[in-house]
Structures are given as structure tokens and as C-alpha cells.
């Protein structure tokens, strides 16, 4: 018994040690990002390293606002993320509703086809999609970031799962009252699936906010840049690399998502879990 207790004790110590170490590992890059963003360029690699030096400064944030069009870049990113999320939520919930609550010829093969499209990696469509965007004259416009992915297969699948659990009697009652099918979607389905919309919306928003490769291919002028592009194009010119400015931009890119994440953490995690486990 005593020995058991001892073992229990040492396990508990081990577990807590592991968790503390991991917490440090997880936080270190964030802390260093923040600390670097307040340093003067010559102090970034100062020795010994300091967390917050006496010369801490906000000049890099000021520089971002005054010289780097920060507000415009944040707006671009937000506009694209918000619009594409809204459009995606509409199309995916509508599609999920269609698959969950109707029987129609060809339903099974159509759904199988939808699932199959999910295995196509971006690498395969990257080049021809760019050519198509050029053909549409959508290069360097936000259209190319918003429209092509607006009816996401994963989203429809996710919504179908959720909507299938809604009781059919509710829908039939509405039909007897003479509601159109779209009104049923609008009046009954949408209010019920709000939690699912939130989960999925958060994931869509995050994906768009952080997307790098496709915007890199599409957006050409700095006035159209989204935040990840702005971080990547930072400094780099012959001269001292402006690490603090770059890190300041990074901090700004993370804060909005972090706030949203902390506010909606449960929904966020649910979205991730549901997406993974049900596949």
C-alpha cells in the first residue's frame, strides 16, 4: 500500500513536470515574438539575451501603422476571411440540409463524389487554378480568394451530420403550415444549427485568415496583401533585416484570432473534434 502511494506520488510529480515543460515550450515562441517586437534591431541578438530590455520601444508598431499600411492589410485579411466564411457557411449549411433531409435520385453517388473530392491535394489544382484565375482576370483580386472554395466539401459533410440529428416532425409541421422549403431552412434549420455554424465558421475564418500559399500566388500588389504575405515580405531588402517589425506584424496577426479563440474555445475545439472523429 505504502509503496503504491509512493509510486502514485512519483507519477504525479512526473506528470506535472511534463506539463510544465510543455507549457514552457508552447509559450516560448509567443513570448519571444512579443519580446522581439519591442526591441531595437541591434538588440534582437544581444548577449546576454533579455526578455524586455530597458530600451523597449513601440516604434515598430508605429512604423507598421505609418509606413506599412497596417490598417489596410488587416482590413484586407478581415474582408476576405469574413466574406468567404459567410458565403461558405451559407452554401455548406444549405448543401448539408439538402443531403440530410431529402431523398432524391442520385443522392448516394452524389454524396460519394463529394467525399471523394476531399482527397485531391491542393498541389494538383494549384497550377491550373492559377491559369483559370488569370483567364477570369481575377489575379490580384479578392474574388480568387473568396469564390473558388465557397462550397467546401468538408463543410457540407459536417453540416449534414449535424442536421441529420434534427427531428423530422419539426420540418413536417412547418410544411403543413405552408412553409416553402427554403423558409424551412431559414426559419427552422438555421436557428437550430447555430452551434455548428459557429464551430465551422471559426475554422473557416481561421483558415482564411492564416492562408499563405494561395494568396501568395494571387495577390501581387502590397495594397492587396493579407497579413501572412505582409509578414513574409517584411524587410528582406539589403540592409538590416527588420526582425522586430516582422515580429510586431506577427503579434498583430495572432491577437484577433487569439481573442476569438478564447471567447469561443469550446465551439472551436468541438469543430476540430467533430471534423476529425466523424470522418
Q: Least distance (Å) from other proteins to the CB of residue 147?
A: 7
CB atoms under 10 Å from CB of 147, counted, come to 16
Among 10, 21, 46, 62, binds other proteins (CB under 8 A): 46
Q: Which three cell numbers stand for residue 235?
A: 524587410
Chain positions 164 to 223 lying near other proteins, rule: CB under 8 A, are: 180-183, 185-187, 206, 209-210, 212-213, 217-222
Buried b / exposed e over 31-55, threshold 16 CB at 10 Å, is eebbbbbbbebebbeeeeeeeeeee
Terminal CA-CA length for the chain:
45
Minimum Å gap between C-beta 211 and other proteins is 8
Q: Identify which range of 57-65, 88-96, 191-199 contacts other proteins by CB under 8 A.
A: 88-96
**What residues numbered 53-82 form the site for other proteins, per CB under 8 A?**
none
| 279 part of the interface to other proteins, by CB under 8 A | yes
Q: Of 197, 167, 196, nearest to 184 (Cα)?
A: 167
Given a contact cutoff of 8 angstroms between Cβ atoms, the answer to whether 53 and 46 are in contact is yes
User: 116-155: which residues touch other proteins (CB under 8 A)?
Assistant: 117, 119-137, 139-143, 146-151, 153
For the segment 10-29, give every residue that binds other proteins (CB under 8 A).
11-12, 15-16, 18-19, 22-23, 25-29
Q: Is 162 in the site for other proteins (CB under 8 A)?
A: no
CB of 71 to other proteins, least distance (A): 17
Pull the grid cell for residue 8: 502514485
What is the C-alpha to C-alpha distance for residues 235 and 249, in angstroms, rounded to an integer? 12
Q: Is 155 exposed, middle or buried (0-12, 13-18, 19+ CB in 10 A)?
A: buried
Residue of the chain from 53, 56, 83, 161 that contacts other proteins (CB under 8 A): 83
Amino acid at each position: 500500500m505504502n509503496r503504491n502511494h509512493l509510486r502514485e506520488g512519483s507519477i504525479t510529480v512526473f506528470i506535472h513536470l511534463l506539463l510544465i515543460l510543455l507549457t514552457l515550450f508552447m509559450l516560448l515562441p509567443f513570448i519571444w515574438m512579443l519580446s522581439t517586437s519591442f526591441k531595437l534591431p541591434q538588440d534582437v541578438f544581444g548577449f546576454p539575451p533579455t526578455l524586455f530590455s530597458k530600451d523597449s520601444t513601440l516604434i515598430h508598431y508605429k512604423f507598421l501603422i505609418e509606413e506599412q499600411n497596417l490598417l489596410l492589410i488587416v482590413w484586407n485579411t478581415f474582408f476576405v476571411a469574413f466574406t468567404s466564411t459567410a458565403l461558405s457557411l451559407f452554401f455548406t449549411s444549405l448543401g448539408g440540409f439538402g443531403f440530410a433531409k431529402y431523398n432524391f435520385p442520385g443522392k448516394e453517388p452524389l454524396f460519394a463524389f463529394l467525399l471523394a473530392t476531399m482527397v485531391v491535394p491542393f498541389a494538383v489544382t494549384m497550377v491550373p487554378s492559377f491559369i483559370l484565375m488569370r483567364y477570369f482576370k481575377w489575379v490580384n483580386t479578392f474574388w480568387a480568394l473568396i469564390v473558388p472554395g465557397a462550397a467546401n466539401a468538408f463543410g457540407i459533410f459536417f453540416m449534414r451530420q449535424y442536421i441529420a440529428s434534427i427531428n423530422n416532425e419539426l420540418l413536417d409541421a412547418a410544411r403543413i403550415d405552408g412553409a416553402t422549403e427554403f423558409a424551412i431552412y431559414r426559419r427552422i434549420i438555421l436557428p437550430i444549427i447555430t452551434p455548428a455554424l459557429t464551430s465551422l465558421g471559426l475554422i473557416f475564418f481561421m483558415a482564411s485568415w492564416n492562408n499563405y500559399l494561395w494568396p501568395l500566388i494571387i495577390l501581387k500588389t502590397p495594397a492587396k496583401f493579407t497579413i501572412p504575405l505582409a509578414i513574409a515580405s517584411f524587410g528582406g531588402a539589403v540592409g538590416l533585416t527588420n526582425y522586430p517589425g516582422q515580429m510586431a506584424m506577427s503579434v498583430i496577426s495572432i491577437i484577433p484570432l487569439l481573442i476569438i479563440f478564447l471567447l469561443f474555445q469550446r465551439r472551436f475545439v468541438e469543430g476540430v473534434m467533430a471534423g476529425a472523429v466523424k470522418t
